[in-house]
Structure 1
């Protein structure tokens, strides 16, 4: 599988496993992670609050035996302060970040974290303090690189200008193409995009009609239900494999670091990899034609 390189030199597989969907049973999660490695996936994405910390423990336990492999890259996230009762509150303070990294290291069985990402962010955050925390962790060798997971342009732009982030994680797919407006600035800073939600809650899969009815009955963004259904039908006229189309579209972006796919079963992961491999064979003109049939979406909130 193709590898893309972060500016620190870390190589990540072009398809990464989003571990949030693994569940809380290690016996069910382990075969999915193992299959991912068999497929050439080397980037694994988790967060300290997924399943109240259980996700980090499972990922750490399963990947522990691969610690002698330099190519396995683990990314986790911080910023949501988990309380004893299971509730969370937003806490991007230096104290929380530098305290939380210790717990993530313990759960992941690591002496350093490859990629540590801020799990959100608002324009009212003490952003310089947050950036300072990440910079100090990097200088100490506790983390190798850091990034941000956000869909807020004002926050993203601040980090692009004032920090040494190496990744930006945002929802990005053929329908939700809003990140396109950020790509020039992202690429100019040599930051890599981690595209989450590539199949858009199942809308860009072979089960698109089911997803449309169950998850998009009220429409989304600039689409009402009917418009969205008509758009999907129109795109299918070009290529019936919607997943392959959106994977090719994402991989064609110069700033792409990885397409983050979730999987709750080995079969689901296999299907994603099959579609990824097929996407490499698609005619680029097909993908351009499909992109022309969807709306050009723009971020409308958190602009300043």
Structure 2
């Protein structure tokens, strides 16, 4: 969780603080609907290692509803969060889903404990996982279904083909890929229409910059995971962030999210939290308008922009 020292509130998001330049607030998924670029992720609604519950179920449901009430129109979850629990919470909080809300989930990873998991991209398993997600989410069609990991033991054509078949059947609307290289993305695009990529990318880690460029070229959404650098906004980075944050009356986390929104129009971060106050803080980051000077200073904090698979 980011350190908070005041910062903007969610109420300011709609309070006319868009002065200082226009910033794209929405992104339209290929084959899908427009979404507000700053969404909400559900991993932090589950316990350590994304295993079991975190706190009271009613509190998790309340945070999900607060996220949508606060303007989030992209909810990102996965079948292995819990496992199954996060999808159940999404359905309990939000089904039947309001018009304009996009629910994204992921399949292809099997969890057996809080520290043990394996990839399974066999077509029959992907189908079974997708159909289980449909039941948990209480929907007939999943808006965005993302392959959580490519299975190296199964040809890509078979994995993508299974998702394509589910799309033709109306069980999923858009296909996404999680944790891939630029070369893998190019290959996947030669097989079918892809709507999104979900790789690690944040203020400190730009290793997927080449994948981001491909997403910009092809009009794909890029959902960066660990958008707040998984708690690493400390040390020299924190000092630089504090300097920018002070000029905007914001927190470190808000500036890190604002940097993503300014970095590329296809970046759609979905930070997660179980705290209502932290949720409000995150959503309010969409109102921050960074200057060119701000961006130069923040850009200098990251890793070299080389492309490699995320861990």
- Shorter-normalised TM range: 0.7 to 0.9
Higher mean Cα deviation, 86-95 or 166-175? 86-95
1:217-257 residue CA offsets vs partner (Å, 9 max, x unmatched): xxxxxxxxxxxx33443454444543333223211244525
Work out the CA distance in 1 between the residues paired with 2:43 and 2:241: 29
Q: Give the drift of 1:190.
A: 1.8
Work out the CA distance in 2 between the residues paired with 1:85 and 1:235: 33
Tell me which residue corresponds to 2:41: 18
Higher relative contact order (CA 8 A, sep 6+): 2
Aligned length: 275
Pairwise CA RMSD of aligned residues?
2.5
Q: Is residue 26 of structure 2 the alignment partner of residue 3 of structure 1?
A: yes
Work out the CA distance in 2 between the residues paired with 1:183 and 1:111: 31
Under a length normalisation based on structure 2, what TM-score does the superposition of the two structures give?
Answer: 0.80
1:253-283 residue CA offsets vs partner (Å, 9 max, x unmatched): 4452511111111111012123332x2x222
Under a length normalisation based on structure 1, what TM-score does the superposition of the two structures give?
Answer: 0.82
1:196-220 residue CA offsets vs partner (Å, 9 max, x unmatched): 211111233xxx3xxxxxxxxxxxx
Within a 5 Å distance, the mapping from 1:139-154 to structure 2 comes to 139-154=168-183
User: Which 5+ residue runs of structure 2 have no aligned equivalent?
Assistant: 1-12, 14-24, 47-52
Matched position secondary structure for 1:252:
helix
Within a 5 Å distance, the mapping from 1:184-199 to structure 2 comes to 184-199=213-228
Matched position secondary structure for 2:306:
coil
Work out the CA distance in 2 between the residues paired with 1:91 and 1:190: 28
Determine which structure has the larger strand proportion and give its number.
1
Q: Is the 8 A contact 2:78 2:107 kept in 1?
A: yes
Change (3 A) 1:87 1:158: same
Q: Give the drift of 1:112.
A: 0.9
Higher mean Cα deviation, 20-29 or 1-10? 1-10
User: Which 5+ residue runs of structure 1 have no aligned equivalent?
Assistant: 209-228
